[in-house]
Structure 1
């Protein structure tokens, strides 16, 4: 089940983001798991206009999440992280689709993301959703550790 994050989900999603980030070497400055918002995702996404973070539950437990937030005139797909046991079941796709549907409702024309080249399954998911690769980041990013940048036209 995919639902917007609540304060009761904060501790679980924080643990997931830190655990999965460490699994892929995304630790410290320059990586999403190091962002301050990770400690209290529900508050951050509630306070930032035109943004939302979704969590996925399996058997009642939070197993992952993903968010959308403004990035200039477009939006950014942020912090899509899933526990290993939740991968390969379409949960990541459902999270991304929920985010992209919300982005469309907010009137965004394009969606940007940055990730790591080692996250090959995630990159395959993004490609299947219509994201195309960019040669460089669109703008200076606080996630300097990322080495893959992608963009999707939301009007296609």
Structure 2
């Protein structure tokens, strides 16, 4: 569990499934991106299989006992000791407070502590704030986008 200002960042629990999915779906629709429960977002509906059983983590961010964001990663087959940061979304009311940067830093620490050495992130150009966050924190643009709604992929070596 982590704390940032008045936010609690904790491990996902089964009771969070619907609310976490709702946060992600809401942010996607805000930017005109599709919610894809059969494709890009199937992991959100099956956290146990995609994250917990593979050695990843899925966090929810709470503010006043409401879920206002998510952040996660899981191991992937893109080189040795690689993970992908996924589902890092914050509702509009909690953006601009440094929370995204803090989350990214905590994810990187957790990933490094588990012995991973390479982090991948896929995103969409329309998510301007996310692109800026990744680029200003040492993520390098590369090629090989695998998610249909994404058009950018980044990598960072720890």
State TM-score, norm by structure 2.
0.84
Within 5 A, what are the aligned runs for 1:141-156? 141=146, 143-154=147-158
**Relative CO higher for 1 or 2, CA cutoff 8 Å, sep ≥ 6?**
1
- Kept in 1, the 8 Å contact 2:29–2:35? The answer is no
The whole-number CA distance in structure 2 between the counterparts of 1:32 and 1:69 is: 19
Match of residue 113 from structure 1:
121
Is 1:97 the counterpart of 2:105? The answer is yes
Q: Which runs of 4+ in 1 moved over 3 A?
A: 31-34
The whole-number CA distance in structure 1 between the counterparts of 2:76 and 2:48 is: 19
Within 5 A, what are the aligned runs for 1:35-46? 35-41=41-47, 44-46=50-52
Aligned to 2:43, the other structure's residue is in SS state helix
> Which stretches in structure 1 are left out of the alignment for 5+ residues?
none
* RMSD of aligned alpha carbons: 2.1
Within 5 A, what are the aligned runs for 1:1-156? 1-28=8-35, 34-41=40-47, 44-48=50-54, 50-72=55-77, 73=80, 74-134=82-142, 136-137=143-144, 141=146, 143-154=147-158
